[in-house]
Structure 1
Amino acid sequence: MAKVLKLLSLYSLANLILVITNALLANSNGFTLQLIHPHSPKSPFFQIKIGIGTFKSKPPYKEYYLEMDTGSSLVWIQCEGCTKCFKQTPSPFPKQNSSSFHPLLVNNVPKQYEYEYADGASTHGIIAKETFYFKSNNGKSEKIENLRFGCGLLNVIQYDNCRNNKVAGILGLGTEDLSFAKQLSPRIKGRFSYCLPLLSTKTPHTYLRFGDDITYPKNYKSTPLHTRNGSSTYYLELQGISINRNRLKINPKVFDFKNNNGTLGGCIIDSGTPYSRIIAPAFDVLIFELEKYFMKFKDLKKMSGDLGLELCYQRMNNPEGFNKLPSVTFHFRGSQSGFVMKAEAVFEVVERFRPLRFREYFCLAMVRSDTMSIVGSHQQTNQRIIHDVKNKRLVFYPEDCSKNS
């Protein structure tokens, strides 16, 4: 979920909550955090695994969930004493009772922050240093001391929409100095990695890996990874789109980064944006070519926009899931940088019960944008994504993310 861009309107981050739980510490230069999807039986609505602070108790910390977000940089948690609070269980972080809580001071006054997100969410509070604990798989706790984070005192975010919400804040992995990845950069060698499973997958979790816990197979692809001053997000050079490996007639210039008259353009990759957003001229071509592709199937009925996405069809006969649906490729800069997405990562398939029988629908899980393109989390499913920030490249390759990735 990118830090606020005034012309950008994103889908709600509540549509995708990946939360940090266990850390499996492999060595001093790499570690692994478990991620749990909210639809999993092991979601944050059932367990709490992260430790923050130092208290006179056993264990000596309070446990919370944080949301992973590659599109923002601030690490923050809702704190006790908040004047605008979202509902959460357990109660907000009791900062005054933690002996390791140290506000950063400017002229003897706690340093304040204000952080806004593109979907309208925001947090306002003070910057402090604190000790974070991550439980390892052997039952012991590993800790990171003096991690700078935001202690949220005025928070507007849609966690209230989640029943029995236990998500207490966000773990920002963006490009700015307060990012979790930036603060740990020497230790993790400037790289982190994740692999997002399909929503329909029954596997309970996947992993967020850092540093030497990341491996590279022989068949990986890569493309340059860029940063922009004043932005938390990671930029890619998108140059084209294919359907079933047939390149569409799209002028590559429509994907260019512009930054003229307030229009940013370009393309970012963001785990906090559920559905990819495609700049309008390219999206129009994509829609047109998909419509041509589906015209050859006689059992399909094109639907209006009542399903919430622009291109949707109803199957008039038997349900087929993702069968006969095409793959789509994003072409990034580089001779071997085609980001191939199978149908499961391109479309959503929905079943609805109607009188006497149920109907199956499918929709293109991408939306139109007038400002810029974004590679969202749905399109990243079943791909190993490695942000190699030190070497300024995004590495990716297909992977079954349901297999303890």
Structure 2
Amino acid sequence: MTSISKASIVFLISIFIQYVFANGFTIDLIHRDSSLSPYYDPSLSRSERLSKAFQRSVSRAASSPFGVQKASAPSGGFESPVRANSGEYLMKLSIGNPPVETLAIADTGSDISWVQCKPCTSCYNQTTPIFDPSDSKTYRNVACQSKPCTEYQSTICTDDNICQYTVTYGDRSSTVGDLATETFTFASPSGQPVSIQKVVFGCGHENEGTFHGSGAGLIGLGGGPLSLVSQLDTLINGKFSYCLVPIDSAETVTSKLKFGSDAVVSGPQAVSTPLTKKEPETFYYLTLESISVGANRLSYIKTDDSDSKASSVEQGNIIIDSGTTLTILPSEFYEELEATLKQSINGKPTDPKGSFSLCFEDPDSIKFPDITFHFTDADVLLKSKNTFIEVEAGLVCLAMVPSTSVAIFGNLSQMDYLVGYDLVAGKVSFEPTDCTKQ
């Protein structure tokens, strides 16, 4: 299996920015359940919207093989380990010239960006116009002889010399279409849009499965060579960050996604932990060494080292993911964490709700302990707003669940942290931040 080097992609697409802030650029992230989202359902209560987000989170983690291996998809395409309808944040962008405004899911757990395109062999309903490449002056199909087509595993060449991609997701949803280049223009909070030319993306003509509520497509922010982050590589110096507002924030407040020097996390309270390179390269892997409940520190699951006869923590043992709501932990370790929490909390657990294992009634009368995730070289302290979530009136549950397949540091645990990715230095940084003021 071969892959495209980041250097060759950057050379190929010759990215040009018409306007960039002196300190990089920033994009609004809209939670899919926010009143700003076209998928907002006013008939649902806050707890019902949360419940749906939790269900998506569990489904995303359960998708096989999330972060374990790359499987073969039908017709020789690539199988993405995540579910198609599982991302949580939308970003506004325009595609082509003249620009067509649309919304797409921003996802750190995916690589290739794609949108629905006319003519549609099979398309799902979306709230914005479906992109028609024949109307754009800047749309170009990627040649079969080009590096994205010859080296990227998910493409085939048609008889008409058109490079075609196929991606099948973990829930068997799929997108099939033409690999192309186009101008992407991103809306910015400053009011000045940022245009990027010759972005490689998928123009999807056959999109089937659980895509309803997923926007017009997906913007991949993962670590693979065709993700938007990798294509912007030298332009943003390998840096991007996001700041996710708490779920109880005003519904008109948006989270922020930053690129370039504006994404540097360097405040006095910032801590950094190394990224670990693993397969599949789509995901961002951190090393979790232990978790503390108050002053009680629990060592994370060890792995036997047959060479040294020692037991150590596996490197890259947890994925950090903005598209997963809950934090997912290995079942064995989760049981130890839950038992410790029960001993530390001055309240009686009640019957669990839905996907949760640990819930309490009358939360106002309970003092919940801080929980600290001890990553290599970085301690990330989580307050109760990150760890115990009100799932219905008078009932809170631990926003962490067990899994037998994968560990994920989810977005509830990251809220009110400025989370910065420096892919050149190979690290992720965390800084406590009031994200509503970013």
Q: CA deviation at 1:384?
A: 0.8
Q: Does 1:197 align with 2:245?
A: yes
Q: Does 1:285 align with 2:336?
A: yes
Q: CA deviation at 1:159?
A: 4.2
Aligned length: 349
Would you say the 8 A contact 1:25–1:136 is kept in 2? no
Secondary structure at the residue paired with 1:105?
coil
Q: CA deviation at 1:248?
A: 1.7
Residue 364 (structure 2) aligned to one of 320, 326, 330:
320
Name the counterpart of 1:3: none
Name the counterpart of 1:274: 325
Q: CA deviation at 1:268?
A: 0.8
Once residues 295 and 30 of structure 2 are traced to their aligned partners in structure 1, the CA distance between those partners, rounded to angstroms, is: 33
**TM-score when normalising by structure 1:** 0.79
Q: Does 1:385 align with 2:419?
A: yes
Once residues 172 and 290 of structure 2 are traced to their aligned partners in structure 1, the CA distance between those partners, rounded to angstroms, is: 30
Q: Does 1:74 align with 2:112?
A: yes
Would you say the 8 A contact 1:104–1:127 is kept in 2? yes
Would you say the 8 A contact 1:36–1:44 is kept in 2? no
Would you say the 8 A contact 1:303–1:314 is kept in 2? no
Relative to 1, partners in 2 of residues 1:386 and 1:80: Cα closer, same or farther, differing over 3 Å?
same
Q: Does 1:307 align with 2:354?
A: yes
Secondary structure at the residue paired with 1:96?
helix
Once residues 170 and 371 of structure 2 are traced to their aligned partners in structure 1, the CA distance between those partners, rounded to angstroms, is: 26
Once residues 105 and 25 of structure 2 are traced to their aligned partners in structure 1, the CA distance between those partners, rounded to angstroms, is: 18
Name the counterpart of 1:109: 161
Q: 1:212-291, aligned counterparts within 5 Å? A: 212-215=261-264, 216-253=266-303, 256-257=313-314, 266-291=317-342
Name the counterpart of 2:230: 182
Name the counterpart of 1:343: 384
Q: CA deviation at 1:232?
A: 0.2
Q: CA deviation at 1:204?
A: 1.7
Task: Name whichever of 192-201 and 247-256 sits farther off.
Answer: 247-256
Once residues 119 and 292 of structure 1 are traced to their aligned partners in structure 2, the CA distance between those partners, rounded to angstroms, is: 38
Q: CA deviation at 1:118?
A: 4.1
Once residues 128 and 25 of structure 1 are traced to their aligned partners in structure 2, the CA distance between those partners, rounded to angstroms, is: 24
Structure 1, residues 40-65: CA drift from partner, whole Å, max 9, x if none?
333345999521111xxxxx210001
Residue 331 (structure 1) aligned to one of 368, 374, 377:
374
Secondary structure at the residue paired with 1:106?
coil
Residue 207 (structure 1) aligned to one of 253, 256, 262:
256
Q: CA deviation at 1:142?
A: 3.2
Structure 1, residues 287-315: CA drift from partner, whole Å, max 9, x if none?
11112223x43xx34214x4321212223
Higher helix share: 2
Secondary structure at the residue paired with 1:50?
strand
Secondary structure at the residue paired with 2:224?
coil
Matched residue type, 2:382: M
Residue 31 (structure 1) aligned to one of 13, 25, 30:
25
Matched residue type, 1:99: K
Name the counterpart of 1:126: 178
Relative to 1, partners in 2 of residues 1:116 and 1:384: Cα closer, same or farther, differing over 3 Å?
farther
Would you say the 8 A contact 1:268–1:374 is kept in 2? yes
Matched residue type, 2:351: M
Relative to 1, partners in 2 of residues 1:234 and 1:139: Cα closer, same or farther, differing over 3 Å?
closer
Structure 1, residues 101-129: CA drift from partner, whole Å, max 9, x if none?
11112165222222244455432222100
Structure 1, residues 156-206: CA drift from partner, whole Å, max 9, x if none?
45442x4xx7x2111111111111111001110101000111111115212
Structure 1, residues 16-40: CA drift from partner, whole Å, max 9, x if none?
xxxxxxx99413x721111122343
Would you say the 8 A contact 1:245–1:329 is kept in 2? no
The answer for unaligned runs of 5 or more in structure 2 is 1-17, 41-89, 146-159, 305-311
* CA-based RMSD: 2.6
Secondary structure at the residue paired with 1:278?
strand
Deviation >6 Å, runs of 4+: none
Q: Does 1:401 align with 2:435?
A: yes
Secondary structure at the residue paired with 1:288?
helix
Relative to 1, partners in 2 of residues 1:369 and 1:48: Cα closer, same or farther, differing over 3 Å?
closer
Relative to 1, partners in 2 of residues 1:341 and 1:138: Cα closer, same or farther, differing over 3 Å?
closer
Q: CA deviation at 1:349?
A: 0.9
Matched residue type, 1:134: F
Task: Name whichever of 208-217 and 40-49 sits farther off.
Answer: 40-49
Higher strand share: 1
Matched residue type, 1:26: F
Structure 1, residues 42-93: CA drift from partner, whole Å, max 9, x if none?
3345999521111xxxxx2100012111111111111122323221022311
Once residues 117 and 174 of structure 1 are traced to their aligned partners in structure 2, the CA distance between those partners, rounded to angstroms, is: 15
Once residues 176 and 261 of structure 2 are traced to their aligned partners in structure 1, the CA distance between those partners, rounded to angstroms, is: 35
Would you say the 8 A contact 2:91–2:104 is kept in 1? no
Q: 1:11-160, aligned counterparts within 5 Å? A: 25-27=20-22, 30-44=24-38, 49-54=92-97, 60-106=98-144, 109-118=161-170, 120-136=172-188, 139-156=191-208, 158-160=210-212
Would you say the 8 A contact 2:28–2:189 is kept in 1? no
Name the counterpart of 1:171: 219
Relative to 1, partners in 2 of residues 1:24 and 1:366: Cα closer, same or farther, differing over 3 Å?
farther
Once residues 370 and 48 of structure 1 are traced to their aligned partners in structure 2, the CA distance between those partners, rounded to angstroms, is: 32
Matched residue type, 2:317: G
